[in-house]
Amino acid sequence: MTVKPVSAPASRWLLAAGLLLACDTVLATPAYEQPATLDAAMLLPPQTLKSPHDAVQPPVESDGFINLYAINTLQGILRAASTAKAIQHAAEVDAAAVGVVDKELWMSGGVSLMARQSLEARGWTVRQGMGKNLAAS
Q: pLDDT, tens digit, for every residue of 8-59?
A: 566 677 666 666 666 555 555 566 777 788 999 999 888 889 888 889 999 9
Phi, psi angle pair for 58, to nearest 5°: -60, -45
Contact, 90 vs 56, CB < 8 A? yes
In this predicted structure, the answer to whether residue 137 has a pLDDT above a threshold of 80 is no
In this predicted structure, the answer to whether residue 92 has a pLDDT above a threshold of 90 is no
Q: pLDDT, tens digit, for every residue of 55-76?
A: 999 999 988 889 999 999 888 8
Q: pLDDT, tens digit, for every residue of 109-132?
A: 666 677 777 677 767 777 765 444
**H helix runs in 29-82, sequence order:** 40-43, 46-49
